[in-house]
Structures are given as structure tokens and as C-alpha cells.
A and B are shown apart, each in its own frame.
Chain A
Amino acid sequence: MHEAVLGATQFSVQINFLSPLINGIANGAAYGLLGLGLVLLYKSNRIFNFAQGEFATVGAIVTYVFYSGTGVLPKLPFFVAVPIGLLASVGIALLTERLVIRPMFNRAKVILVVGTVGVALLLIGVEGLLPYPKTQSLPTISDVLKVQPFIGRVDGIPILYQDLAKLAMLVVLAVGAFYFFRYTRTGTAILAVSQDATAARVVGISVERISLISWGIAGLLGGVAGVLLAVPPQGTVTPGAFTGTTLTVAFAAAVLGGMTSLPGAFVGGLSLGLIEAFANVDASFVPGLNHVHSGQAELAVFAVLLAVLLFRPRGLLGSET
């Protein structure tokens, strides 16, 4: 009946621009938050860290078990539980550096990457064996502050406080990390080590300490992402929650923005979130497809990734590949 009414306009797809725009920015903030940690480690160590998604999950899980008082743990207020969660993320990242990265310092980068894949697998497994309710979520900012979840509606679509918080945190962290690398001694030292470790050692920089610091920061960024993303409606504290799909898109986002550019993680994240949202158009005019085929958004992500790598490998804002 629907088709009969539409008649001649059957193939003209009606697109509501506002809803994908808002969804896209909200998802894009998530990709950007995860992407920040990826960019930081690429900038400092020249590796892809496949464990970044699990750094986020660890932060979210530890925050959750203290917030809800799981088992013998004390039930703590949200703003006390969060720092504990972040500490756990940093701790896991430091352990990763000390036990996996440090022994393989002089090996090829691709083997280090395989090592981070191993860390991700291990963390998923260990998280799964821990006794806590795995399908739960963290509270949103508005739950914690006991206010209504949205600040207002635009054209009937609610603008959530949580999404604003993600976006604000992303901007703060991206700008903060940008200044850290540009203006602080430690930040400059990290860059020096990434460019030439031997030369950095010669001028008195401790390469080991710098590596530890950069992994610690990556863990912190991962933890922040986890706490902000493991909230309803989609986010949970399930093991591997951020590794399956979010991390893949976050990588593509970081590549789009430029793997060496921290503001690029912000730009790339938002762009990819929007691309994904707008790629989810009604596809029922293609024979054999559902209303919205689940692979459309992912195909768009893949196409963007390939296009960037083939035609502009340094990304939108990156300075080198």
C-alpha cells in the first residue's frame, strides 16, 4: 500500500538530514575518543595498538564494579569510582609496555602489533572470566547529576547531555594533547624518541621512561573513552565491547584524520561518524536488499579508508605517513 501511494516517486529516497547528523556526531565522538589513543601511540611508537579498545573496556569495567559495589567491593560514588577505573586502565597500559613492548623493543614493528593483538585477546578472555554482571552499563552524566537526559530537542530529536559530554571531552583531550606535544619538555621528548631513538638517547632522553609515559597516557585516554562510551542505550561493560566493531572504525577514523595528528583524530572521528550515518540510507530500491542493509555503513568506511591510503596516505591533517 505504501508503494502504491508513493507511485512515481518510488525511487526518490526521502532522507531526513537532521537525525543522521546528530547520530553521526555522537558516534563520531566515540571514534574520535578511541582514535586519540591510537594516534598518540602511533605518533610516539610508530605502532598500531589493537589493545586500545580493551584499555577502554578495562576502565569501564573497573568503574562499574566499584560504582555498583559488585561482590565484596565497596559501593562508591560515581566520581570516586571513575578515577579508580582510569587508574586501572593506566595500570594495564603500563603493564603492557613493561611485559610485552619492552622485551621486543628492537624487533620489527609488525611483531609489536601482533603483540598488541595478543594483549587484546588476553584482556577479553580475562575480563570474561571475572565474576561481574556483563550486560550492564555505566550511568550517563545525566543519571549521575539526576537531571533529565537531554538538554533540549531539535526538530523532535533529543540532544543528549552524554553526547555533549563526549564531544566536549574529545575537544579538550585533543587540544590538550596537541599542546602537550608542542609545548612541554616530555611531549617534545616523546616526539624526539619516535623520530630517532638513538639520537634521543645521545642527548640524554631516557627512551625507556618515554615509552612508559606514552603508554600510560594512551591507557588514560582509553579509560576516559571507556567511561564515556559504556552507557545506555548501546554501550555495555561486556568484555571486548569496544574491540569488535568500534575499534576498527576508530582506526579508519584515525587514518582519515592523519595517524600523526591529534586534532586529526577529532576531525577524522567526526567525519567518519557522519559518513557512516549518512551511508545508512534506505536501500530497498536495490533488488535483494533490506530496508537498510547492515553492510552499507561498513562499506562506506572501507571505501574511505582505501581512498585515503591510496591517494592521501598522510590523512587530512597529518604531516607524514
Chain B
Amino acid sequence: MAVQTEALMTTTVTNRRPGPSRLAARAVAAAPLVAVLFLLPLKSDTFGHVAAYAAIFVMVGLSMNVLTGYTGQISLGHQAFVGLGALTAANVVSTGVTPADPFTFAIGMLTAAAAAGAAALLLGAVALRIRGLYLALVTLVFGSVFADAIFTLPSLNGHEAGVSAYRPTFISSEYRYYLFALAMVAICYYIDVRVRKSKVGRGLVALRDNELVAAAFGVDVLRYKLLGFTISGAMAGLAGGVFAFWSQEFSDKDFTAIAGFNLALTFVVVVVVGGLANRGGVMGAGAFFALVSPISPLLQWVADKTHWGTYYGNNKFYIANVIGAVLLLQTVILNPGGLGQVIRPFARWFAGHPFTLHDPDGDAGVGAMEGSSVRA
């Protein structure tokens, strides 16, 4: 048994750099993926529009991944950070009827991330003192209160009419905006990787698994948890900024009341179904739930091919609920590793390892939440 494990580890290490033929195999396998990623959204404006929406969901998924996957804290109020980012970006850039100029636009994105990061820091400071399941409750109430109390301020939501947010001319087409959103995804991805691979990430995961032990080993509980909250909030804020210019308007109605509640739950569904602490899975789940959401015409298109078109059109919000709920339940009950666990062998193969269904360091999934810091 021990020998087997050792042998396997050796092969893993020696095969880190695949030869030319292996590289070619991976390139061939990656080609359809790249085609879907870059060519499909080029097909029409609708395709580009939906693809950018999926990119925004992927960003929120990564943000939830830092918070829930690495710090083990479930957030039922993440729509507040996304909304705050959207509100800040739209109000800071304040385009009126003309396209934003690139410089103001960049400032808008940065302030969106900063504002949401600050809000998350604030919530984190309070949340640190609240134990167990109660924290989930606080994030839930925080989300709805924050949205309903601040987003509905007449001076911030354009006096109920919405704040317009026209894109700068160089990314005004749907496809170009999608590429911009992809670039933002890349930034979030990079931050996620850096967080996980650095001292901070190891500290956070140690905290998640056992706070007392981590503290005994010198992890600064206060600082690390606050850092986790802030990074997650800032990423969600950036996603919100991208969202505001995606819909070319900030409207408080996207984030308040039942719409906000639905959004918050969808984000939880994304991160759980994706597989907590599993970046690839969460990104896949984010894109999937954006594509089956009522905003996307994908399912409508499928339904139109059969005779279910009208039925789907009338019930798409409820159908999205059912899809999310069924996948969430099957994940927590039957498949705690989520989508990440399923795609992990392929992801590892792409990273240069030999293909194997055996998973030497498969991690977490829903198990990420079983750490002591959130155990009631």
C-alpha cells in the first residue's frame, strides 16, 4: 500500500513536463474549448451578451470560492457586494448619455472593487465576533438590508430611474465587452491562485480546518479572516462593476427584495455545485448557471426546438430555481466534491499529469465547510 502510493507520487512528479507528443495531444483536446470560449460568442450580439454574463458569474464564483472555499464561511448575502460594485461604478463614472472615457472607466472599476472590499471588511469585523451558524444568518440579513437600505437611496439609484453606464467606445461591442470581462476573470483567477498558493492561503485553509490549531501555530486569526473577507468582497465588487456596464445601467431592482434573494442563493448554488475550494469547478458552475439563467436564451432556444417553447417562456424563473435546487441537493447529499471533483482528472491531465481517476490530493468540496470555525 505504502509502496504503491510512493510509486504513484514519483510518476506524478517525473511527468510534470510532458514531451512534444503529449503536448500536442493536450493542444488538440484544448482546441474545442478555446473555440467555444472565443469563437462562439462572436456568432451574434446575443451570444456575446450572454457570454459576458457568464464571465461575470464566473467572477462572483471565484469571489465566493475565496470566502467559502478557503475561509469556510458561507455567505448568503453576496449580492450586496456585487450590487455595491455596480452602484459605485455607475455613479463614479456617471456617463449620462455619452460613452465613458477609458480613464474614468478604469477609476470606476477600481472604486467598485475598493468600495465592496471596504464593505466586506466591515462585515468581516462584525462577523469575527459571531460564532457558528449565526454568521450565515448575519450575512443573509446583511445582504437584504444593505441592498434595501442603500441601493434604494434616491440620490444613488438615479431617482428610481436607474443610473446609466455606457461602455467606453473601444469595448462597446458585445464581443469586445466579453473579451474585457474575460480579462477581468483572468485577474480574479490570478488573485485566487496567488491567495491559495501563498502564505495567506495556507493560513486561511489552516484556519478553516481548525482555528485553534492554526492559532497555536502562529496564524493571526483576526488579520487572515479579515483579509479573506476583503479579497472576496473586492472581487465581487469588480464583478458588480463589470455587471453595471454589461447591462449599461445600474438599477437597484436587480439586487433588492426577491430578485436579490434569488441572486444570493444562486451564488451559493454556484460555489457549492462547483465544489468548494475548487477553482475550475466553481468557474464551470458559474458559467453553467449563467447559461441556464432566465437572462440567457439558451434554454429558450432548446425549448423552441421542441413544443415546450411557450411553456419555458412563461416559467423560466421557476425552471431556473428547480435546476439550481436539484443540482445543489444532489451535490450536498450524494457528491460533496461537486463539479470540481468530476472534472479534476481532466484538469490534472491538462496540467501535465498522466491521466488517472485516482486522486492523490483531492481536496475539500463541501467538506471545506466542515471545519471547526463554522461548526455549530
> Is there an interface contact between B134 and A298, defined as CB atoms closer than 8 Å?
no
Q: Interface SS of chain B: helix, strand, loop or mixed?
A: helix
Q: Tell me the minimal C-beta distance from A240 to chain B in angstroms.
A: 6
> Is there an interface contact between B333 and A122, defined as CB atoms closer than 8 Å?
no
Q: Bound complex: CA of A125 vs CA of B292, how far in Å?
A: 14
Q: B148: CB under 8 A from chain A?
A: yes
**B152 touches which one: A113, A243, A245, A293 (CB < 8 A)?**
A293
Q: Bound complex: CA of A290 vs CA of B152, how far in Å?
A: 10
Between A113, A121, A124, A290, the greatest number of chain B beta carbons within 10 A of the residue's beta carbon is seen for A121
> Is there an interface contact between B322 and A251, defined as CB atoms closer than 8 Å?
no
| Stretch of B280-288, B324-332, B342-350, B355-363 lying at the A interface | B324-332
Known: A46-B376, A128-B321. A310 touches B130 (CB 8 A): yes
| Stretch of A136-144, A179-187, A300-308 lying at the B interface | A300-308
Known: A124-B321, A302-B145. A110 touches B374 (CB 8 A): yes
Q: A235: CB under 8 A from chain B?
A: no
Q: Bound complex: CA of A252 vs CA of B131, how far in Å?
A: 16
**B369 touches which one: A100, A111, A245, A251 (CB < 8 A)?**
A111
A-B contact pairs, 9 of them (CB 8 A): A104-B332, A107-B366, A108-B374, A118-B332, A128-B315, A251-B141, A299-B149, A302-B142, A321-B132
Q: A171: CB under 8 A from chain B?
A: no
Between A119, A124, A252, A301, the greatest number of chain B beta carbons within 10 A of the residue's beta carbon is seen for A124
**A122 touches which one: B153, B322, B369, B376 (CB < 8 A)?**
B322
Q: B144: CB under 8 A from chain A?
A: yes
Q: Count A interface residues, CB 8 Å.
A: 52
Q: What sequence of 0s and 1s flags, for each residue 89-126 of chain A, a beta carbon within 8 Å of any chain B beta carbon?
A: 00000000000100110011111011101111110111
**In the assembled complex, which residues on chain B have CB atoms less than 8 Å from the CB atom of A306?**
126, 138
Q: Tell me the minimal C-beta distance from A152 to chain B in angstroms.
A: 35
Q: Which residue from chain B places its CB closest to the CB of A103 in the assembled complex?
A: B333
**In the assembled complex, which residues on chain B have CB atoms less than 8 Å from the CB atom of A124?**
318, 321
> Is there an interface contact between A115 and B333, defined as CB atoms closer than 8 Å?
yes
Between B129, B137, B257, the greatest number of chain A beta carbons within 10 A of the residue's beta carbon is seen for B137
> Is there an interface contact between B136 and A305, defined as CB atoms closer than 8 Å?
no
- Residues 116 to 153 of chain B near chain A (Cβ within 8 Å): 126, 129-134, 136-138, 140-142, 144-145, 148-150, 152-153
> Is there an interface contact between B369 and A128, defined as CB atoms closer than 8 Å?
no
Q: Which residue from chain A places its CB closest to the CB of B160 in the assembled complex?
A: A290
Q: What sequence of 0s and 1s flags, for each residue 183-216 of chain B, a beta carbon within 8 Å of any chain A beta carbon?
A: 0000000000000000000000000000000000
Q: Bound complex: CA of A301 vs CA of B258, how far in Å?
A: 18
> Is there an interface contact between B375 and A114, defined as CB atoms closer than 8 Å?
no
Chain A residues with a Cβ under 8 A of chain B: 46-48, 100, 103-104, 107-111, 113-115, 117-122, 124-129, 239-240, 243-245, 248, 251-252, 255, 288-290, 293-296, 298-299, 301-302, 305-306, 309-310, 313, 321
> Is there an interface contact between A243 and B261, defined as CB atoms closer than 8 Å?
yes
Q: Bound complex: CA of A186 vs CA of B151, how far in Å?
A: 48
> Is there an interface contact between B131 and A321, defined as CB atoms closer than 8 Å?
yes
**In the assembled complex, which residues on chain B have CB atoms less than 8 Å from the CB atom of A129?**
315, 318-319, 322
Q: Which residue from chain A places its CB closest to the CB of B320 in the assembled complex?
A: A125
Q: B272: CB under 8 A from chain A?
A: yes
> Is there an interface contact between B265 and A310, defined as CB atoms closer than 8 Å?
no
> Is there an interface contact between B145 and A299, defined as CB atoms closer than 8 Å?
yes
**In the assembled complex, which residues on chain A have CB atoms less than 8 Å from the CB atom of B145?**
295, 298-299, 301-302
Q: Bound complex: CA of A238 vs CA of B193, how far in Å?
A: 43
Q: Tell me the minimal C-beta distance from B119 to chain A in angstroms.
A: 13
Q: B100: CB under 8 A from chain A?
A: no
Known: A244-B261, A293-B152, A298-B149. A305 touches B319 (CB 8 A): no
Nearest 3 interchain pairs by C-beta:
A295-B149, A128-B318, A125-B321
> Is there an interface contact between B129 and A310, defined as CB atoms closer than 8 Å?
yes
Q: Bound complex: CA of A100 vs CA of B129, how far in Å?
A: 31
Q: B269: CB under 8 A from chain A?
A: yes
> Is there an interface contact between B148 and A248, defined as CB atoms closer than 8 Å?
no
Q: B32: CB under 8 A from chain A?
A: no
**A244 touches which one: B131, B258, B369 (CB < 8 A)?**
B258
